[in-house]
Structure 1
Amino acid sequence: MADKDAGTFDGLEVGKISGKFFVPRYQRGYRWTEIEVTRLLEDIRGSEGSTYYLQPIVVKPLGDNRWELIDGQQRLTTLALIVRYFKAYVPMAEVKYTIEYETRPLSAEFLLEPTKEKAGENIDFFHMFTAWQAIGAWLDRQDDASTSAFEIYSALSRRVKVIWYEAPETTDSIELFTRLNVGRIPLTDAELVKALLLSLSREVDGTDRALSVAAEWDAIERDLRNPELWAFLTARSDDEATHISLLLDTIADQLSDRLRARDGKDTGERKPLRGRDRSSFHTFETLRRAIVQPGVFACLLCDHDVKAGQGAAHLWDHVVDLHSLLTGWFEEREPFHKIGYLTACGLPFGSVLGLAVGATRRQFVESLDKTIASGRRVGLNLTLSALRDLAYGEDDAKIRRALLLMNVEAVRKLTNSTERFSFHTYAARSWSLEHIHAQNSEGLNTVEQWTEWLRQHRDALSGMPNLEAKEVEDLSDRIDETLAALTLEKFQELETELRAIYSSPDVDVTPEEHALSNLALLEKNDNSTLNNWVFEAKRQLVLGLDRKGSYIPICTRNVFLKYYTERRAQQLHFWGPQDRQAYMTAIERELTQYLLPETKVADAS
C-alpha cells in the first residue's frame, strides 16, 4: 500500500536528536575531512539567526529508541564531535545520542573521548580524530572561542534542523541506502513532498486517496518528461531527477511571496525561480507548512476554506490544476510559441504564470505580447529604426533575440500546418550569429584555418554558374598545390581571387557586412572558419545539413533558398543587395507587432 511505503518525517532540531544509532556494515566508515567539517561550521555561523536545514537523516526504527542509520552518519557523527568539543566552553552542551558502527564496536566509546593515542587503531578513528582537530583549529581562528562555541551550540539547539526521515520498518535498508548513495543523490524536495502527501492522503471524505495521488503523480511526471514540453517551460533540455519539482517549486515560491507580503516583508523584488537563493529543502518546508497548518495555504493562494486534515488534498489539487494549465498552453499554438520564446530568452516559468493570474485568455496573450515587445531583459525593446541599426559585435544579444523571434513567429503563423518551433532543439544546442556572406577573412590567423577555408571554397566551385568546367579544374588544382606548402601570402592571393568569383557582380564595394540583413541563426560549429565563408559555401553546407535531417531554423533555411527574394531578381549563388533588402523586409514583417513606437525610448537592458 502506498501509505505504508511513505514513511514519516519532519524538521527536527539537532539538539532534540536522541537515541542509539547503529551503522550497519554495508556502509563505509566515517570519512569527512577538515574541509567538510570547517564548511559545516561556517555555514551554520553564516545562517545568521534564520532556520538552517542540514541534509536528511534517514533512519529505520529498531525499537526502544534504537535506530538503524541508513543515511546521514557523516553529519550525525560530525555534529556529535562538535558538541562534545564545545563542552569545554559551554558546560551545558550535551549530546543525547550515541553512534555505533557494526564494523567498529568501540566507535561509540571513542566518540565520547577522541584521543590521539587511539586514533591509530583503525581508519574510522583516524578520520574522527582528524575532524576533532579541525573543530579545534576552527575555534582557534575565531576572535573569541567561547562566544563562537556558545553561538554554534545555541544554533544547533534552536534553529539548525535536519529533515528527519523515518522509513517504514518493512523497508529494505540496503536497497534504500543504494538508491540514496549512487552518485550521492540525496532525498529531494519532490521525494519528501510526495512521501508527505501519500502519508496524509488517507481517509479524505472516507476514501483512501493515496493510490490515486501516486498514480496522478506518475502521470504528471511522465507528461513533464516530454522534451518539447519541458524545454517550452524551462528552456532546458537536461534530464533532471524529477520534473514535477518545477510545479512544486512554483507553488512554494508563490506561497513564500504571499507570506512575505502578509508579514510586511515584501520588497517588491522578484528573482528568477531557478536562480533564487533557495535554502536546502525550502520547497518541502514551505509546502509542509501549507499541508499541516490548516488555513495557511487556502488563505494565501485561493481563499478557499480548508478543513483540518485536508491540507494535503488541497495542495494536491493545486498541483493538478497547475499541470492542467501548462499542458493547455502547450497544446495551443499561440501561447506555446510566445511562452516558449520568452522562456528561451530567460523569463522564468513563475513569471509567465504571474502574467496569467486573474487574466482572461485574451488578456494573458496581450501580456505575453507586451512582455515580448518591452519586457525587462527578455523583450526586444526596439523601434523600427533601432532594429535596422543593429550591428554584429555591438548588439549581439538583441540580434539573437530578434532572429529567434523571427523564426518562432514564422513557424507560428504557418496556416494549416502542424509544424511547431522546436524549443527542445534550440535549448539542446549552441547557436551563433553567422554572416550570410563574409566579405573578408578577419579572424583567420593559422595555417589550419587557411587550409579549411580553401578546401571548403574549392569544393563549392562546381556550383558556380560563371565558371567553365576547365576553369573549375584548373583553379582546384592550383588550390591543391598551394595547400601542399601554404603560407599567408599564398593564402591571401587565392582568397582574393576566390572572393571575386563568389561575389555578386552588383554588390556595393563597401557592403554593410555586420548589418542585421547579413546575419542568420546557425548551430554553432566548432570550425572557427565558418563565419568567414562566402554565401555559396554556406549555402551548400546548409543544404547538406538539411538533407541529413539536421534542424535548420526555418528563416535560415529560407535565406539560403532565396525564399524572400523575388524570382526575377534572384541570383542563386550570390548574396546581393536585392537579397539583403528582401530579407530585411521579411524580418520587419515578422517583428512589426512587437516593435515600439519611435517616440518611445526603448529599455536598453
Structure 2
Amino acid sequence: MNEYNDVSIVKEARQENILKLWALPELCNKNFFIPDYQRGYRWGTRQVEQLLDDLCAFFDKGKGQFYCLQPIVIKEITKDEDKNKYGLNSKNNNNKWYEVIDGQQRLTTIRVIFALAHLMDRDNKERFTLRYKTRPELGNFFEKLRRNNEDDYRIDAENQEDLDIDSWHILEAANCMMRWFKKGEARGNGLRYFKGSFYENFTHPKDIEDKKSVQVIWYELCDGSDPNETFKRLNDKKVSLNNAELIRAMFLSDSAVYEYEEALINGYPEEVQNIVIEREQARKQAHIIEQWDIIEKQLRQPKFWAFVKKDASDKGYSSRIEYLFDLISKKKPNDKDELTTFLRFEEMMREKNDVEGLWHLWLKVENYFATLFSWYTDRNYYHKIGYLIAETDNNALVDLLDKSAKMTKTKFSKSLDWLIKLHLTNNNTDADVYSYSYDENRTELNRLLFFFNVESTRIATTQDKFPFELYKATNWTLEHIHAQNSERIDRTDKQKWIEWIDENIKALKHLQKRFKDNESFEPTKLIEMLEEKRNIVKVNTFVFNDFTKCFDSVNAYFDNMAKAEGGSPEVHNISNMALLSGSVNTSIGNSVFEVKRQLIMKKDAEGEYIPYCTRLVFLKYYNKNKEDFSVQQSFYWSEEDRKNYLNAIKNILEKVLNTTNPDKEETTENIESKEENKYE
C-alpha cells in the first residue's frame, strides 16, 4: 500500500492538541469564557508581588529572550448553541471563543495590567475579552476601573462600596500592583518605569532580536477531552500540566512543522507537493505516536527503570518518558522551574541549538533511549553504569551519554572503570581503600561494598544480573559481620536491649539442639541466664552495665567455640563489614555472627532480597578453597574468615582500582605515535 494514501495516519496524527508559545500581544482581541467549574479570581498580595518581582528581575538582569508564564489550557467553543446559551457575542476575532480550563487566574491578572496601562495612557489598546459564567457582567469590570483624583497610586471603581467578591479581588489586585510600583519609586521602579520599559517589555511581540518579551504556553485541546474532567485532573488532584504533555503537543500538534527532503518533494508534480508534505508530516507524527508508546512501556518495566533512575522512584513523573526529556535538556536536580525541560526543548527548536529541526529533535530522543536500552542489555555496561547511576545523579548520566556518543567502545569502557575508581577513592586515586575504617570512612566503605556486590554479580555469569530494583527498594546499612562491642547499642533504649536478648536466645536455642551431647558448647545455662535478664530488664535497677554483662557472656560463648581458629578483637575495616537490610534493626545489627546468620537465612527463605556477597559471607562461601570447607564451623566470624573475605574483595576490585586515566593514555599514545612518525 502506498504510504501517502494511508488516510488513517493523517487522521490519527490530527487528533493531537495544539501547543504554541505566544507573546502577550497575541492574546489580544481574543475571547475567553470562564466556566462555572472554575473558582473566582483569588490572587492576593503574595501572588501578585511575586509575579512583579520575577518580571522586574527578568527585564533588568534576566537571561534568555522571554519570560514564560505557566500554561493556559483552553478549548475552542465550536457550537453556536453553546455560544448562544452563555450569551457569548463579541465583535473580536469573528466571535471565536475559548473555554478556559486552566490559567484563568493568570489571564485575569494580565488583563488587570492591561487595564492599568490603559488608565495611564489612553493610547494603550492591549486587551482581550473575558466572560465569566458565574458573573456575566464581571468581564466589563476592567473598564470601570478609575485612577483616584488625589492619589496617583490609588485605583477606584464605579460603585465600589457595593462590589461583589470577585470584583473586589480584581480591584485589590490592581491596587496591590500600584503599591508595588509606589514602593519602587526610590529605586526607579515607579509609575514612570511601569509606563516605560516595564510595559514595553511586557507587551513586546515574540522573536524580536535583542528584545525581551513575556510569553504564555498556549495549550489547546483538540482531542475530544472533556473540559470538566481535564480541569479536575489539573486542579482537584493538584496535577499540573507536565513537560511530557507539552512536549508531546510540540511534536504532534497541527502547528508542528517538520523538515523534509527537498529532493523527495521535488520528485512530485508541483500541484501535489503540498499534499505530499502534509502526508509526510503525518507519517512522521504517526511514527512518533508509536515510538512514544514503546518507550513509555519499556520505562515502566521495573528493572529497566531502576537501572536508569538513581532512586527508582517515579515521583514527579506521571509519564516516565519525561525523565528522558530531562536528560536531553540537561535539567539540574536543583532546578525549581517545573517547566524547565519543555522550555529548553522549545529553545533548542527556536535557536536550532544542537538540532536541525523537529524531526531531528525526535531522533535525538530515540537515540538517547536506544543508548540506554543497549547498556541495559549489555551485562558489562549494565553493572558498571548501573552502579554509577545509583551512586551519583542525573548529571553523571548525562555526561555518560555524551561520552558514549564521542568515544570508541574501548575508550568508553576504560572511562567507566576510571570513573568508578574516582568514586571509590573519593577522587584520591592513591588512597589505600583497604585501610578505611568504620568510624572514619563509613561512606567510602559503603561504596566499596556496594560495588563489590555489583561487580561480583557481573563476574559470576551463572548469576542473574544485579537487581537494582530490589536493592533500591530497601535501606541498606553498613554493619559489622561480627560485633564484639556493645558500645554501639543505644544505652537509653531498653526495648533495644530486649530485642537483642530475644534474637540471641533464638540463635542459642538452634545451637542447643545441635550440641545437646557436647558439654563444651551446650548453651542451656547461657539461655537460662538471658531469659532471666529478659524478665527483669525493664526494672529500674537493671542498667546498661548489666546488659553489657549479657553481651559479654554471649561473646565469650562464641569466642570459646572459635578458639581453634583464633578469636580476635572486633575489627572495624572492610574485612568485618557487610551490607545489611534496614529490617535488621540497630540492636540486632550489633550482635554476634550467628544471630545475623540465622536472621539472614530466615529472611532469605522468606524470599527477602539479600545482596549476593552478603549471602556468601553468612554461608561462609569465601572459605570454599579450604580443605575442611564442608565441615568447618559456621557459627563464628573468625580471623581466617576475615582474611579469606578480604582476599576475595581485593581480587574483585583489583582491575578497577588499578585502572589508569584513559585520557592520559591517549595523550601518551599520540606523543609516541608522533615520535615514531618523525623517523619514518
Tell me the TM-score normalized by structure 2.
0.76
Deviates more, 1:499-508 or 1:10-19: 499-508
Q: Aligned AA for 1:435?
A: H
The answer for the alignment partner of 1:576 in structure 2 is 638
The answer for the alignment partner of 1:363 in structure 2 is 411
Q: Against the structure 1 CA distance between its residues 57 and 209, is the aligned structure 2 distance closer, same or farther, given a 3 Å change threshold?
A: same
| Alignment partners' CA distance in 1, 2:536 and 2:416 | 56
The answer for the alignment partner of 2:38 in structure 1 is 27
Q: How far apart are residue 344 of structure 1 and its match?
A: 0.7
Cα contact 1:58–1:167 (8 A) shared by 2? yes
Q: How far apart are residue 278 of structure 1 and its match?
A: 7.2
Cα contact 1:10–1:163 (8 A) shared by 2? yes
Deviates more, 1:214-223 or 1:275-284: 275-284
Q: Against the structure 1 CA distance between its residues 445 and 283, is the aligned structure 2 distance closer, same or farther, given a 3 Å change threshold?
A: same
Is 2:79 aligned against 1:43? Answer: no
* DSSP 3-state at the match of 1:96: coil
Q: Against the structure 1 CA distance between its residues 38 and 206, is the aligned structure 2 distance closer, same or farther, given a 3 Å change threshold?
A: closer
Cα contact 2:295–2:321 (8 A) shared by 1? yes
Is 2:57 aligned against 1:55? Answer: no
Tell me which of 106, 110, 116 is aligned to 1:79: 110
Q: How far apart are residue 380 of structure 1 and its match?
A: 5.8
Cα contact 2:15–2:223 (8 A) shared by 1? no
- Which of the pair has more CA radius of gyration? 2
Cα contact 1:235–1:423 (8 A) shared by 2? no
Is 2:495 aligned against 1:448? Answer: yes
Cα contact 2:308–2:386 (8 A) shared by 1? yes
| Alignment partners' CA distance in 2, 1:206 and 1:16 | 26
Q: How far apart are residue 148 of structure 1 and its match?
A: 5.5
Cα contact 1:6–1:168 (8 A) shared by 2? yes
Cα contact 1:15–1:157 (8 A) shared by 2? yes
Deviations 1:148-169 (A, max 9, x none): 5355434422322111123339
* DSSP 3-state at the match of 2:318: coil
The answer for the alignment partner of 2:549 in structure 1 is 493
The answer for the alignment partner of 1:341 in structure 2 is 387
Q: Please give the residue correspondences for 1:96-135 in structure 2 after superposition, counting only pairs within 5 Å.
A: 96-112=127-143, 113=145, 118=160, 121-135=163-177
| Alignment partners' CA distance in 1, 2:620 and 2:73 | 64
Tell me which of 8, 11, 14 is aligned to 1:4: 14
* DSSP 3-state at the match of 2:283: coil
Q: Aligned AA for 1:100?
A: R
| Alignment partners' CA distance in 2, 1:90 and 1:543 | 81
* DSSP 3-state at the match of 2:14: helix
Q: How far apart are residue 592 of structure 1 and its match?
A: 0.6
Is 2:592 aligned against 1:534? Answer: yes
Deviations 1:178-218 (A, max 9, x none): 33334222222221221222233673548633333212111
Deviates more, 1:170-179 or 1:146-155: 146-155
Deviations 1:536-580 (A, max 9, x none): 211122111111111111111111111112553743111121111
| Alignment partners' CA distance in 1, 2:440 and 2:183 | 49
Tell me which of 210, 221, 230 is aligned to 2:285: 210
Q: Aligned AA for 1:400?
A: N
The answer for the alignment partner of 2:609 in structure 1 is 551
| Alignment partners' CA distance in 1, 2:108 and 2:660 | 67
Q: How far apart are residue 286 of structure 1 and its match?
A: 3.7
The answer for the alignment partner of 1:196 in structure 2 is 250
| Alignment partners' CA distance in 1, 2:601 and 2:98 | 66
Q: Against the structure 1 CA distance between its residues 439 and 174, is the aligned structure 2 distance closer, same or farther, given a 3 Å change threshold?
A: same
Q: Aligned AA for 2:137?
A: L
Structure 2: gaps spanning 5 or more residues: 1-10, 78-93, 146-154, 205-212, 259-276, 662-680
Q: Against the structure 1 CA distance between its residues 277 and 489, is the aligned structure 2 distance closer, same or farther, given a 3 Å change threshold?
A: closer
Q: Aligned AA for 1:316?
A: W
Cα contact 2:594–2:636 (8 A) shared by 1? yes
Q: Against the structure 1 CA distance between its residues 108 and 556, is the aligned structure 2 distance closer, same or farther, given a 3 Å change threshold?
A: same
The answer for the alignment partner of 1:400 in structure 2 is 446
Q: Against the structure 1 CA distance between its residues 546 and 585, is the aligned structure 2 distance closer, same or farther, given a 3 Å change threshold?
A: same
Deviations 1:123-178 (A, max 9, x none): 43344344344434433443343365355434422322111123339553223323
Deviations 1:344-377 (A, max 9, x none): 1114321110220132322321221221122xx5
Cα contact 2:568–2:639 (8 A) shared by 1? no
* DSSP 3-state at the match of 1:428: coil
The answer for the alignment partner of 1:511 in structure 2 is 570
Q: How far apart are residue 463 of structure 1 and its match?
A: 3.4
Tell me which of 336, 342, 348 is aligned to 1:284: 342
The answer for the alignment partner of 2:505 in structure 1 is 458
| Alignment partners' CA distance in 2, 1:361 and 1:597 | 16
| Alignment partners' CA distance in 2, 1:315 and 1:126 | 47
The answer for the alignment partner of 2:474 in structure 1 is 429
Q: Please give the residue correspondences for 1:247-266 in structure 2 after superposition, counting only pairs within 5 Å.
A: 247-253=324-330
The answer for the alignment partner of 1:258 in structure 2 is none
Structure 1 vs Structure 2: percent identity of aligned residues? 32
Cα contact 2:114–2:127 (8 A) shared by 1? no
* DSSP 3-state at the match of 1:511: coil
Q: Aligned AA for 2:556?
A: A
The answer for the alignment partner of 1:260 in structure 2 is none
Tell me which of 643, 654, 668 is aligned to 1:592: 654
Q: Against the structure 1 CA distance between its residues 212 and 242, is the aligned structure 2 distance closer, same or farther, given a 3 Å change threshold?
A: same
| Alignment partners' CA distance in 2, 1:157 and 1:323 | 40
Q: How far apart are residue 330 of structure 1 and its match?
A: 0.7
Deviations 1:82-114 (A, max 9, x none): 444466667766641232210122321334427
Q: Against the structure 1 CA distance between its residues 469 and 287, is the aligned structure 2 distance closer, same or farther, given a 3 Å change threshold?
A: closer
Tell me the TM-score normalized by structure 1.
0.84
Q: How far apart are residue 341 of structure 1 and its match?
A: 0.6
Q: Aligned AA for 2:230?
A: L
Is 2:168 aligned against 1:153? Answer: no
Deviates more, 1:392-401 or 1:457-466: 457-466
Cα contact 1:370–1:594 (8 A) shared by 2? yes
Q: Against the structure 1 CA distance between its residues 462 and 109, is the aligned structure 2 distance closer, same or farther, given a 3 Å change threshold?
A: same
Q: Aligned AA for 1:28?
A: R
The answer for the alignment partner of 2:207 in structure 1 is none
Tell me which of 495, 520, 527 is aligned to 2:578: 520
Tell me which of 171, 177, 182 is aligned to 2:231: 177
Is 2:242 aligned against 1:242? Answer: no
Aligned length: 564
Cα contact 2:483–2:570 (8 A) shared by 1? no
Deviations 1:269-300 (A, max 9, x none): xxxx442637553433443455577xx36xx4
Q: Aligned AA for 1:41?
A: L
The answer for the alignment partner of 1:327 in structure 2 is 373
| Alignment partners' CA distance in 2, 1:41 and 1:572 | 71
Cα contact 1:380–1:402 (8 A) shared by 2? no
| Alignment partners' CA distance in 2, 1:456 and 1:90 | 82
Cα contact 1:384–1:596 (8 A) shared by 2? no
Tell me which of 287, 292, 314 is aligned to 2:360: 314
Structure 1: gaps spanning 5 or more residues: 254-272, 600-605
Q: Against the structure 1 CA distance between its residues 274 and 285, is the aligned structure 2 distance closer, same or farther, given a 3 Å change threshold?
A: closer
Cα contact 2:307–2:389 (8 A) shared by 1? yes
Cα contact 1:11–1:162 (8 A) shared by 2? yes
| Alignment partners' CA distance in 1, 2:289 and 2:117 | 46
* DSSP 3-state at the match of 2:622: coil
